[in-house]
Amino acid sequence: MNQTVYITGTSKGIGAALADYYLKTGSDVVGIARSHKHQHPYYTGLQVDLSDEHALQNFEFPDPKPGHRLVLINNAGALGPMHHAGNLNPTEILSSFRLNISAPLILINRFIAQFGTSFPELKILNMSSGAGVHPYDGWSIYCASKAAVNMLTEVVRAELSVASKTHIHCLALAPGIIETDMQHQIRASSPQGFSLQPLFVEFKETGKLRMPADVAPEIAQVISQMDTYAQAFVDLRV
């Protein structure tokens, strides 16, 4: 059976590598981001700012081919400004939470409403982080966002179970430490706003970071077996 994979944040980093992987292995890919780099006959790019309230209110998925298995990967996310409470900007707080929390739930809500009764299998992967279970100073926005992503995953799984929707699956995944623009941003931050900044510089210097292209097939493997996970949260490092 063929599949359509909807991925947020395909212009770079992990999302770009996931789009590459799924295109190479024959899936239709719909990328959802503010910009797009893929040019492929099976790639559709939707230009959407997922931190924009109006865009989120009106979001609809383009229809896949009939009978396809469907995957939604809520990958787009941002650290937001790394400062201690007292030094944060309210506009940036609101915008980061829209991207990191509101967008995944709005897309899940829309995905199930639009396709839940008419397609044979739906899988939803929410990109989480170790920061969703460990507090780091300066990362209040990011840690709270990822903790919320973990909990919304648990709630959606409970709802699917209560409603006996056995053809729909949902999982949160922490990918490990991956060399992307997000890691550049962490290394470029100030230790005054994030005291562990030197540790992340050391991760880079001691070769602890993995590359997106190496991690994408592992994420796809987890997605292919999503129905077998008893727990809602998977950490690729464990």
CB of 37 to ligand NAP, least distance (A): 9
50: which DSSP letter? T
Dihedrals phi, psi of 6, to nearest 5 degrees: -95, 125
13 touching ligand NAP, by CB under 6 A? yes
The 3-state DSSP class for residue 197 equals helix
Query: Which residue is closest to ligand NAP by CB?
Result: 13
Closest to 131 measured CA to CA, from 85, 169, 206, 77 = 77
Q: Is the dihedral of CA 60, 64, 69, 73 positive or negative?
A: negative
Of 109, 121, 96, 238, the closest CA to residue 173 belongs to 238
- Residues in 21-40 that interact with ligand NAP by CB under 6 A: 33-35
Which residue of 30, 56, 78, 170 would you call a contact of ligand NAP, by CB under 6 A?
78
Report the C-alpha gap between 26 and 149 in whole angstroms.
29
Q: Does 132 bind ligand NAP (CB under 6 A)?
A: no
Contact positions with ligand NAP (CB under 6 A) in 168-227 = 174-175, 177-178, 180-183
Q: Which region among 3-11, 19-27, 65-73, 116-124 touches ligand NAP (by CB under 6 A)?
A: 3-11
Alpha-carbon distance of 93 to 198, in angstroms, equals 25
Which DSSP symbol is given to 58?
T
Q: Which residue, 27 or 51, has its beta carbon nearer to ligand NAP?
A: 51
Considering the complex, state which of residue 9 and residue 64 has its C-beta at the smaller distance from ligand NAP. Answer: 9
Helix H or strand E segment including 233: strand 233-235
Q: How far is the CB of 13 from ligand NAP (least distance, A)?
A: 2
- Residues of this chain that interact with ligand NAP (CB under 6 A) are 8-15, 33-35, 48-51, 75-78, 99, 127, 129, 174-175, 177-178, 180-183
